[in-house]
Structures are given as C-alpha cells and as structure tokens.
Structure 1
C-alpha cells in the first residue's frame, strides 16, 4: 500500500493511461524527464492495482547502485521491509524471498534469468528503466522480451522508460505500443560555464569553482567526475584547501559498499559535497542537492582493439547526459550547475549517446543469443541492427574460443563461459585457469587486461623476467604491490582498482562450476592466455627476430623490452594496430603443443616454381591461417596440379605450344581452311581457346613445362574431333594427294592463300584437269617443277597449261634434260617418277 504521506509525482498524471494500455496487453513507452517519478511512481502503481496480474514485477536498472537505491526507496514508498514485498538482485548481492513481488535488478541479471527461464513464467511485467543509455545489454533485453511477447507470452507486460529518447520509434518497433509523455516537474537550474578550456587536472578545476558554488546555494553539492581515481584526487584537494570545514566530503561510485552508498543517499543535517561517477546521473535520487559541478567527462565501456576486450575509456559526455546531470540540481529546489567547459564548446558535443550496439564488441551478445536458440543474429528483433561485419567478427572469435561450433550451436565450453559474467575472452581464460592454485593469479591477470594500466605503458625495474611472458611480469608487480611494495607500479589508484576487480572475478569463478577443460602445460597462465587469444598467435619471421606474422596475416613487432626473446611462437596480448606493422606492447611466448588441435591444419600444397619451370609440392602445417612450418614433398599429378601448370603455361603459350612442328601446323591449317570454306561441317574452331583446351588435357598427367613441350600435341589436337569428323577433314582437306606417278604429294595450306601442291611436271602426265578439294569448291594451286625441282610454272588451270604453255616449257626442258621423257601429248602419256625416256 502506497503511503499517503508520499508527495504526488508528475508521472502520476500518466498512471491511468499506462494501466489502460497494460490491461489491453499493449507495450508502453514512457518518456519522462529526471525527477518526474518514473522509477518510484510506476512500479508501486502496478503493484497496488495489479493491472498487470499477480506475477512478479521486474524493474531493470543499468547499474547495481541504481537497483539497490531504487529498491530501498520503493520499499519505503509501499511501506514494507526491503527484501519482503520489494527487493533487489545484483551481482554478488540480493535481498529477495519467494514472495517478493517487485524486484529491482540489473540488466545483466535479467538476461541471465532469461537464459534460465526463457518464458519468465512467474513474471507479469518488466520495466526497462533508463533505456536512453542504450547499452548493448538493454538493447538485447528489449529484443528478447519483444520476441517472448510476440511468440509465446503476449500477456507479459512491458514498459520502456526513458528520460530523453523520442518514444515513438521505440513504440513503432514494438508494434501497436502506447507512447506516453510526462512533462515532469523541475525547478530552474542556472547553467554556468568556464570561460576557457583548462588544461589543469580535474581536481584543480573542481576546487577552483567549489567556493563560488558553496556560496551560491545552501544545499548539497554533487560533483560528477570520470572515475574513482579522480574522486580520490579531488577529495584530497578539497581537504588540502580546507574547503570541507562546513561540509562532509563523501564518495559515490559503483563499487562502494552498500552501507557506504546508503550513507551518501540518505538524509543528513550536515551539508554534503558528493564526489560521484556517472552512477549518480540517472535513477537514484539524492535529497537536498541544489548544486552540480560537472567535469563533462565519464569513463565509458568501449571496445579496446589493442587487447580485444571492453575497457573503461575516458571521453566527453553528450549534451543529453550533461542535461541529465544539470537536472540533478533542480529536483527539489532551484539550483545551479557549473560546467567545466566553455559555452561555445557545448554545441560541439554530440547530442545523444551512440548506442553501444553500433560501436562495441558483440561477442557476448552473439553467445547469449546462441545459448537462447537465436543462431541468426541479424534475424533477431533489434531496435538498431548491429553492423554485419561486427557480427561476423564476433561469431568468428566465438568459434576460435570453442564457445560455438560451425553451426553456431553452443559447445560445452560455451555453456561454462556463459555462466561467468565476463567478456567471452576472459570467461575462456578463467575456465582454463580454474585450478585452485592459479585462480587468484589468473583473476589479477584478467583485471590487468580489463582495467587501466597501472604501469602507464612502462614497467618498473623491479622484476627480472621470471618467464617469457610480459603479463607474468605485470602479475608479479601487482603481487608485490598488494604485499606493500608501492614502488612496483606507476599508478597506485589504478593498481588498487585492479585488485578490487580481481577479488570480484575470483568470487565469480568460485561461485561457478568452471572446471579446466584440459591440462596443457607447466605454465598455466600462459596456456590460459592462449585459450583466450587464439586469434593473436604469431610466428617470428626468423629466429631471434622481434618481427612476426600474426593470425589473420598482420605483421607485428615486439616491444624492445618484451620478455619474449626466444621461441618461434608468441602470443600478442596488447597490440597497437596503428601503422603498417602493429606494435606488440605485451606478449607471451607459447609452446606449439598448447595450440588448440581443432584449429590445426595440415595441407599438401602444390605451387609453380619458376626456376624449375615446374609444379612442385610442399607440406604446410597451419594454426588457423598462420603457417607454422613447411617441407618439400613429391608432387603427384592431380586436378590442382594440372590447373596450376596450365595457368602458368598459358602465360607463355608461344614457348610451350610446338607451333613450328610441321605436322601440327599442317593439321591446324587444314581445319582452319575447312572452317572457312565448308562451314556446314561445323568443325570445332582451331583457335587459341582450342589450343588452351588441349593444354589443359595435357597437364592432367604432367607437372613441368618440359614435359608439355614434348607431349603428343597432335594426337590431342585430333582427339577434339570424332572419327567421322576426322574422315571428313581428310576427305575435304587432304594432307597428301596421290598423283598419276603414284606418289602422294603434300598439300600445303596457309591463311590468305590458295592450297597448293609442289609436284614435278612429269608426275602429272595423264591428268587433264586441275584437282579440286573442299568438295570440288577450291582448285589446288599447282606449283609445277622441273626435274631439278625448281618451279617452271604456277597454275590453277592444268588443262590450259597443257594446251597453251606446255609446248614452250617442253622445248626448254628437252634442251636441258634430253634424256628425260617429254611427250607431245602429256594428257595421254604415262607419268613417271624418274622422268627418263622409256626403253625401246
């Protein structure tokens, strides 16, 4: 029951409309500004009216702090003890019972609940709060809930709540949804800017404006800072300047203990200066805040291609986030907001935050969907479709991690990875490192890779390389720092954060059923890193060389100070991809025996050796697409060998094809002659394409150019035609023609010339007319020779030669060759091969 003492909220004017839409099983998209009461007004109304049924109501928050804070406030509003009717569930902490009706939880907890209970059978309503932040998780949750509603549970109520987004596109996406806008109620906030962009540290900028802010308003002051490091340095600066004389300086960030968080959020008679990260930007209410100092920066989770993991990166906030922060000063009274950037620079900021799905790594989402039965990521109902290349990259990474198979089914290893709320790389790493003896060390390594570098890019000369692993060096430094050696790191706050995260990761693994999938080596950290980075394996270009080639074909170069000085293979963990050759800032030597056998491949590869002018073969061993070794093997004829030989022979065909061979040239000329003069025969043309066809046939059983040059080309050229066609070629374009002397005389063919025959006159005695070929269409050109085989006459009309010219030629030949037979009538005479007069 909602307490009657609770003030009326601006969103109250919309509650009946929200209830009406839910009663009609319509999704609701609510836009309401900060302070309108989305988080604290809508859930109690749904509980009290039961308009959405008697099941549980899940209030989804983007952060653990917001979920705990919202649950505490809602429990107070409905007059119950936290953990009874109203509770919360976040990582490592929950206050719920079987009878808890309203549960505030983070988006990650919802997604894992959807994996265990795809229908949310005991849930009647889900509220997605602060949807404007557009994290990948909340986009994924929206799509999963939309899929459930449109397929199996149309009665599941869904309310999407945002402070800044236009509700209509979301309503259109959900289909027949009710878009509702609450105008809210806010007091005026006086926005002030610095005159110029300062290069001072943020802590110095804050203490520079804090005195004016304290004088301008009597309420609490909320200072937005990028992270815990800046909070600590600003806290020290405030104390050093004695600006805390009339106020208490308090810190607020996500990893703060629940008790400390409650102290910050609770009422106080003492003025507070609250130093907070962006956890205070949305969802939570801090009573009595009337002043905001905004650094304009935040550490936001972004994909870091250097280490292949999401990392918190410093960046400028959007205009929408700046307005959200300023609004915190005007929730209960007029306020002031001092922005630490010039007014002119405000318009240069992007208006809205870019959805994470458009800029982040998708491997976690792809694995989640695969486990949920959604193998086609692009067919999933996304509010904003992810880039296809990012989906492909994520899918390929998951295959390499052995999280999914080729059909995108989740493997046994993949199911273990899902149970660890870490990036898939780190889940795989921790599974491989899940021996009791190395989990603590592995957790530190995982934290080193996902948090800020405590060494600022350089190692202290505090350790000697214990093993050939740069990460092990960092691990050793962190262990020394934990044991009190502050000189082991460059950035102590970053190191402390790493140790905090490491403790969290260790607790995750301890609570999971993660077991090692294999025992690989005497160097488990290095081997576990290999399991997490199979796409970062590299091979040296030559022994001792700092340069190498990485999976994917990218050239890499080890840092001069790297511990990886020996060994053929190394793992590139932190890679700066700028430039033509990527710089490897952290690496580890690996043993080939540790490589995942699934990704190993042995290929016998033929290739053309130009020096030998032949196809030779080698056996290559690969990990993924990275060649590990090669050795020569005997090259046997095959289709692949034939194709290689044909391709290279064709590039130099004039030196391979024996075009000067008389028999080959003659056959080609005969076919071309008939192609022109007897097209009805429909002969296959004897052109370059035909020669290449024959070349490919000859290559089937050969491996060298030398063998091709001596191959039976003529037989293969003739084999293009069947027996009947070859008979037609012989009949209509004979290679030789039998003359009256009984000799068979060669018939010559050439382009742009009449076919001709060179024959001695005496061998034609008895012929009266010129012979014809091509079915009688083309008369042969006769080159008539004397006994000395020198031309005497060229004619295409033998009868005319006998009648008009022979007598003159005979007279001269009789004088020169008196012993030869020169009859008066050659058409009646007997032809002779010797040409001498017949004996009486």
Structure 2
C-alpha cells in the first residue's frame, strides 16, 4: 500500500476528510495561542453567526483554524474557502496545512492563485487569492459547494477583499442563509466590521508566542535609507543570533540596501536575500525557508512578509517605517506609486514577525516622538485605488451603484463615477451603467478592464497573442533591458520588453521561473488559453501601439516638441528627450504619473500612422467645430478629426450649421463685452431713454449693456442670419433693433414719458440728455425759462429733470432740480452778475411773471 492509499484510508469514508480530532495540531508542534479560542469560535459558527477572530501575529490562526473546522457538522460536505491577500501566502498556507495533515497540497488542502492551482475532487480546504473568490461568486452566486468563507489578514483591506466580502454578504442574505463568514486579523478594529456583518461574534486570542523587544533608532533623515537600514542590520547582527528580516518600501531600496550590506563587508556568513512580488516562486520560497546550515539569513522584503507567511529563523526585524502604494487620482484618471509612512497597525504586524519562532528584537528606524504622529491604520484600497475593476465586477453582478451592497467603507462617488466613465469608453457599460455583452466577455478574463478590452479587440484583428504578451508585461511590470550607453536610450519603450518576454517564452520553463520576463511569459500563455487567442504567430510587435490604444484610449499622445505630448484625455505629458520615443509623432502611454501639470511617461509604445487611422476610425470622432475667432473677429468653421483632445486633422468646413454659426457669433459679441455691436449715436440715445424708463417703471424692459448681452438670443438672433464677422454686423441698425424690443404701447409710453425734447416757455424744444438714466438733464438759456415756476418732470411724473441754466453766451450759470427755489433764493444773485456782463439783455425783477425769450429782449 502506497502513502496516498494510507492517507485515504485514514479519511472518513463518507466525507473524504480526516476523522474527528485529526488536523487540530501541526505535526511536531505544541499548542499555539489560537487553540484556546477555537471552542468559542466553533460555537459561533455552529450558531450560524458571522465571526471575527482577532489573533496576534504568531498565534497560528492561518494554519490552525481551517483544519480545526473540517469536521464541523454544519459544513455538510461543503468545503472551506480561505482568502489570502498574496499569492505566496496562499501557497505557503496550503502547503503548511496540508503538511500538518500528513499530505501534500492538492488533496484535502489545495490552493488556487493567478498562475497556479492545486486542488482536486477531495479538496476540503481551498486557499485562494482574493480575486479568485470574486470569480467564484460571479460564476456561482450561491457558492453551493462552499460552507465557510474565511477572510484572512483582513486588516490589509485590499480592494478585492472588500469586494469579495460585499458580494458574499449579499449572497448570504439573498441566496445562502447557511453560508458562514469568518474574518481573521491581528490588528483590525472589529467594531466597523461587525456592523457591516449585521452583528458578529468577536473572538479574541490574546498574546504572542514569544516576546519582542522594541528598539527605536532615530537617525538623521538626511542619510540615505539604505545606509540607515544597513547600520541597523549590522547592529542586529551583533546583538541577536537568528535571521534578520528588513522591511523596505520597494524593489529599488532592496537592491540598494543589499549593495550597501555587501560593500560594507563583515557578513560573509550571511545569506542576503530579496523578497518581493517580482521574484519567481522559487526565489520567494528560498527567502522564506530556513537558511543552509551554518549561515544566518538577512531577508530584505517589501510588505510581502508583513503577514500570513513566516520567514523561518527570524528573530530580529528592521523596520524602515515606509510603504509604497498605488494611489488613484479621479482628477487625472491616473494612478501613481507613492512612498508613505506606514501605519501603527502595520508597524505592529512587522514587529510581530520577530517573535514567531523565538524571542526577538524589532529595530525601528524612527523615534518615539515620530511614532506619536504616525497614522493609526492604513487607508483601505477602496478609498484610494482605481475603481474600474470593482465597477465592472459590480456591473456583472447586476449592481449599478455600490450603495446597493454593504461595505465597511463605501467606494467614493468621484472615483466610482470616473471608473464608470472609463468603462463606457471601453464599451463595457452602456450609458445607463448596465453591463454590455462586451463588458461581460471582458469580466471573465480576470485582468484589468483596460487590458481585457485590448485583448478582446486584438483577437478580432488577429493580434490576440501580441495583446496577451502586452497584458502580461503590464501586469508583471517586467523590468526593461539596461539602456545602452550614450545620450539616447529606449528605456521607456515597451518593444524591448516584448523581445525579452518572447526570448523567455522560446527558452521555456526548463530553468524555472527566475525573472519577471519568465513569469510574464507564463502569464501570457495562460491569458491566451483563457481568451482563446492563438499561441502564434505573435504578430508584428510594431502594432503594440494600436493595441495599447484600445486599452488606454485616454492616453493617445501627439508630440508638441521637446519631448512633450498632449494626451487624448486632455492632460499634458512628457518623455525625457534622451529617449527615442520623445521623437515619435504619436505614442500611447501605458504607465504615467500624475505629478504636476504634465505627468512623466514611464512606459509607452509608438503608434504607427496606419494604425492611428484604424483606431481613429473606430474610436475617434469627426466634428465640425464652429467657434468665434477673436483674432479675425469672425466665426470659424473647421472640420476636425480627433481622438479626445488630440486633433489629427482639421480644415475649413464648407457648410456649417447656421444655428451653430449664429451661436458662435453671439458668443463672440459677449466675449467682446458688446464692443462688436454697431452702436450709433441715435441707438445709444434710444438705449438711454429705455434704461431711464426701466428705472421709472420696472415693468419696462431692462436695456443696459449687461441685460442686452444676456438677451442676445431674444432681440439680436433673429436678424443675424448669414452674418459671420464683425464687419458684417455693421449692416445692422441698432436703433431699429432696440425699438423692435418694444410693443406699440411701450413705444407710445416711451415717447410720452421719456421724450426726446421738452417745450420751454420761450417756445423752444430743448433736447433731454439721458446719458445718466438716473438723472436726465437739459441745458437751456435762463431767459427761455422765465415764467416756468416748477421743474419739468417726466417718467410718469416721478423724475424731475435736472436743468442746466445757461448765460446768453451759453455758459452754465446754475444747475438745479428745483426751479421754484432757484427763482426765490438764487436768481437775484445770478441776475446781478449777468446784468453786469450782459446789460442789453432782459433781466426782469419778477422771473415768474416775466415773458420768456430766445432773443436779447422779448419782442412785442
């Protein structure tokens, strides 16, 4: 009997699982803190209540809980699905649990991740990465073969984890009341999670396995990070005896720190190993496993080692206090990598890595004072990430707005609206936000909607294999070949990366997955299988720009000179002038930051003229743009072909829409603040009289410049047919146009209450000046007003006319709005002066009873 038969003989013949009592202890391991919490946890799940398990790092929750629940009767033959946020963590957990049962992964315990799967018909515990659960729910919303979903390391709050929980909760509420949900974490605040679960039992496992001492090393912030990290490593090397785990923000810092450690010498007995997501599976496992005999291990890691996995033999942690994460800007529609201060929650997780297998020490590269200002918890991805993948998944689920589901943190409206707008542009959603047939086909590919759209369209063009290569490169972020020595490089171009991937694909996997290109080649092959794309030929790599345009229709760029490009989304961007791509007329940017007014393009491909025409025919637009040309003072009508903000071609349009021409003309008049209107003296005088009447009677139409500009469509639009320029506007009679604004009755009122001229006692008709509508006035010789005892009034008798009284030589001698008072109080003083200067003229002692005259003296 072989080992597999022996293992099968030990399983329950009905359930195919290990008998009751097996699998609750790891082989050769003693009790772990979480064991004490298992009875309470089992009671909660047996009562069909959601549960939250808070267990400190090293408590054993990941490896002890799933096998301990295998024989719970409520599972009823269904399996346990446990979500891990990272691929390495999923594989490591499955291997570890399987080993504790005396098996290998693929039997009772299996796993499913993006590029690999080891599960079988007897798998009772399946460890998956978070996106896999979403795919499971989309294909079977009721999860008929699943009895329990465990969300492990939920404090990381990944986008797919939040989405998976929201979908699972709705599945439980609508389809599967018996679906159990368990949240596990070391540091998460359980109260908000409990609320979204509708009230959950909170089970705690207190204490770490081994104590960890914390040492703060507050060095100068001016010193390079890799130097400060190396100094801390050397101190840990002297003060501790086990392995050292160093947390750094990214791959670049890991490489520099390794160089610093090697250059400094003195660590000949150490294995200095990197650990990050860009490594092959074998390289990751090498970093995690115990070091070779007689050697101490120094592992330089990103957040990958923060939780879920145990780096064996580690008793010291060096924490830089920094993380690198993607943040999404709804303003620009772009994501960028930023380096941030980690949260206290993450620092606690990292500290716990030093006490997994023995007492340890954590060296923190910051002071206690700095620690007081660190954020308490990390920002959930749903609040700062590109939401396009989430929006597509929700649309496939049948949800138009995330508010229809329960979330711990609701996806922000601005980011979600931006995501939906992108999906409409990718033809994944219709205008109502409902998923299209194309969108549903895109959703099953398991890649970002941009890449899914590229692959779908490429298959129709016979370029499916090329699209899968591009998608794999963009997902894996494969490194570019080293730039050639000299002033000109091609580091930004995707084409050298394509060649490296194809070389890796031709070489096959015989040497193991050692480079990002190797892993990208395997991912590309998997994408071809899922998408139904032919394995070969690859197609012309020169058409990469066309395919990228389908993925990034908002990032088609046209050169503006000096390495600067205008993108179809409306933003500016640049490529350093030393790059060959800076000379291309058109390119498509696949990776770009959103810093400042113009983002830097990090990854792109040229777009050939023929492919540009093809893409523009499908995704571009042709329009006749009618607008006012302020320089020419005329309407311009251009026929424009464009892709978003990028204009491909423009020329004069022969027959623009007359309504659009008229609208552009009115816009030009408004832009000139009315300067282009053909005002005449007669028209201005009429305008002022109408303004006066509006002040006297608000029922009368307003006619000031602002009111006229606001109402151009009402009084001017009917008369501008065929007019396209300021010079042609001069044909119009403004006085007539203003008069046409008035009804017949209003014209009569205007003539009566705002007369052009007023009769005075001498018989003259004197012009009234309405230049100041609030104070109309007339200038008349004093002698012509004898006998006029009261000031003339207009505007339905409400407004006195200001009278400017003139000397015989028509020089002003007095201004008054009260003639009666003038005759009584002021006339006699004025008379003395005028009589002396004009002795021949008539200056009566009684102006009220005197005869008015236009001459030197009254004529009998």
Taking structure 2 as the reference length, the TM-score comes to: 0.72
Which residue number in structure 2 is paired with residue 705 of structure 1?
726
- 2:527 pairs with 1:509: yes
- The equivalent residue for 1:625 is 645
Alignment partner of 1:59: what SS?
A: strand
Q: Does 1:531 align with 2:556?
A: no
CA 1:303–1:497: 2 relative to 1, 3 Å: farther
2:238 — aligned with what?
212
User: CA offsets, 1:358-401, max 9 Å, x none?
Assistant: 33332222222222222224554331234443333333333333
State the distance in 2 between where 1:674 and 1:302 align: 65
Aligned pairs for 1:422-433 (under 5 A) are 422-431=447-456
| Match in the other structure for 1:601 | 621
CA shift for structure 1 position 527: 1.2
Query: Quick one: distance in 1 between partners of 2:382 and 2:686?
Result: 69
Larger Rg: 1
User: Greater CA deviation, 628-637 or 21-30?
Assistant: 628-637
Among residues 114, 119, 125, which one is paired with 1:91 in the alignment? 114
Aligned pairs (5 A) from 1:139-158: 139-158=162-181
Give the direction of change, closer, same or farther, for the CA distance of 1:429–1:613 in structure 2 (3 Å limit).
closer
Checking the alignment, whether the CA contact within 8 Å between 2:473 and 2:497 is kept in structure 1 is no
User: Whole-Å Cα distance in 2 between the matches of residues 654 and 81 of structure 1?
Assistant: 86
> Contact 1:444–1:502 (CA<8 Å) still a contact in 2?
no
Aligned-partner SS, 1:89: strand
User: CA deviation digits over 1:91-139, x for unaligned, max 9?
Assistant: 3333333343322211121111112112222222211111112222212
Q: Distance in 2 between matches of 1:607 and 1:188?
A: 74
* Whole-angstrom CA distance in 2 between matches of 1:602 and 1:363: 28
**1:736-771, Cα deviation, whole Å (9 max, x unpaired):** 999xxxxx998955446799999xx9xxxxxxxxx9
Deviations along 1:422-446, one digit per CA (max 9) or x if unpaired, are 3334444444555888737962685
- 1:38 aligns to what? 61
Residues 36 and 184, structure 1, Cα contact 8 Å, conserved in 2: yes
Contact 1:444–1:499 (CA under 8 A) maintained in structure 2: no
1:162 CA displacement: 0.5
Q: Report the equivalent of 2:810.
A: none
Match of 2:245 among 223, 234, 248: 223
Corresponding residue number in structure 2 for 1:656: 677
Alpha-carbon distance in 1 for matches of 2:126, 2:560: 57
Is 1:572 the counterpart of 2:598? The answer is no
Partner of 2:361: 337
After superposition, the C-alpha distances for 1:210-239 in whole angstroms (9 at most, x for unaligned) are: 7536xx55xx63534657895999699899
In 1, Cα distance between equivalents of 2:150 and 2:349: 20
> Is the Cα–Cα contact under 8 Å of residues 49 and 201 in structure 2 kept in the other structure?
yes
What's the secondary structure of 2:144's corresponding residue? coil
Q: CA deviation at 1:461?
A: 6.3
Matched-pair contact (CA < 8 Å) for 1:698–1:708: no
Secondary structure of 2:316's counterpart equals: strand
Q: Any residues of structure 2 matched to 1:53-68 within 5 Å, and which?
A: 53-68=76-91
Q: Structure 2 vs 1, CA of residues 732 and 193 (structure 1 numbering), >3 Å: closer, same or farther?
A: closer
Q: Which deviations, in whole Å up to 9, do the C-alpha atoms of 1:796-830 show, x marking residues without a partner?
A: xxx98999999x8555xxxxxxxxxxxxxxxxxxx
CA distance in 1, matches of 2:68, 2:21: 8
Tell me the CA shift for residue 60 of structure 1: 1.3
In the TM superposition, 1:615-764 aligns within 5 A as 615-633=635-653, 638-649=658-669, 651=672, 653=674, 656-661=677-682, 683-684=700-701, 687-688=704-705, 691-692=708-709, 696=713, 697-700=715-718, 701=720, 702-726=723-747, 749-751=768-770
User: Could you list the runs of 5+ residues in structure 2 that have no partner in the other structure?
Assistant: 1-19, 508-512, 785-791, 806-840
Pairwise CA distance, 1:165: 1.3
Cα 1:438–1:461, aligned 2, differ >3 Å: closer, same or farther? Answer: farther
Residue 252 of structure 1: how far off its partner (Å): 6.9
Deviations 1:712-734 (A, max 9, x none): 43443333333455456667888
Residue pair 1:602, 1:619 contacting (<8 A) in 2 also: yes
What is the deviation of 1:301?
5.2
- Paired with 1:345 and 1:70, the residues of 2 have a C-alpha distance of 37
Q: 1:362 aligns with which of 363, 387, 396?
A: 387
Could you say if the C-alpha distance between residues 210 and 443 of structure 1 is closer, same or farther in structure 2, counting changes exceeding 3 Å?
farther
Of the three residues 561, 564, 583, the one matched with 2:578 is: 561
Relative to the length of structure 1, the TM-score reads: 0.74
Cα–Cα, structure 1 residues 757 and 623, in superposed 2: closer, same or farther, change >3 Å?
A: same
Matched, 1:404 2:429: yes
1:3 to 18, 22, 30: 22
Is the alpha carbon distance of 1:304 and 1:74 closer, same or farther for their aligned partners in structure 2, counting shifts above 3 Å?
Answer: same
Change (3 A) 1:631 1:101: same
Distance 1:280 1:731, change over 3 A: closer
Match in the other structure for 2:158: 135
- For the residues of structure 2 that align with 1:620 and 1:723, how far apart are their CA atoms? 47
SS in 1 for 2:199: coil
How many residues of Structure 1 are paired with residues of Structure 2 in the alignment?
757
Q: Is the CA contact 1:206–1:293 (under 8 Å) kept in the aligned structure 2? A: no
Residue 564 of structure 2 is aligned to residue 547 of structure 1? yes
Deviation of 1:704 after TM superposition, in Å, equals: 3.2
- Specify the SS of the correspondent of 2:494: helix
Runs of at least 5 residues in structure 1 that lack an aligned partner in the other structure:
485-494, 739-743, 762-770, 784-791, 812-840
- Alpha carbons 2:570, 2:644 under 8 Å: kept: no
Which residue in 1 is equivalent to 2:186?
163
After TM superposition, the structure 1 = structure 2 runs for residues 283-362 of structure 1, keeping only pairs within 5 Å, are 283-285=308-310, 289=313, 291-294=315-318, 296=320, 302-303=326-327, 318-332=343-357, 334-337=358-361, 339=363, 341=365, 347=371, 350-362=375-387
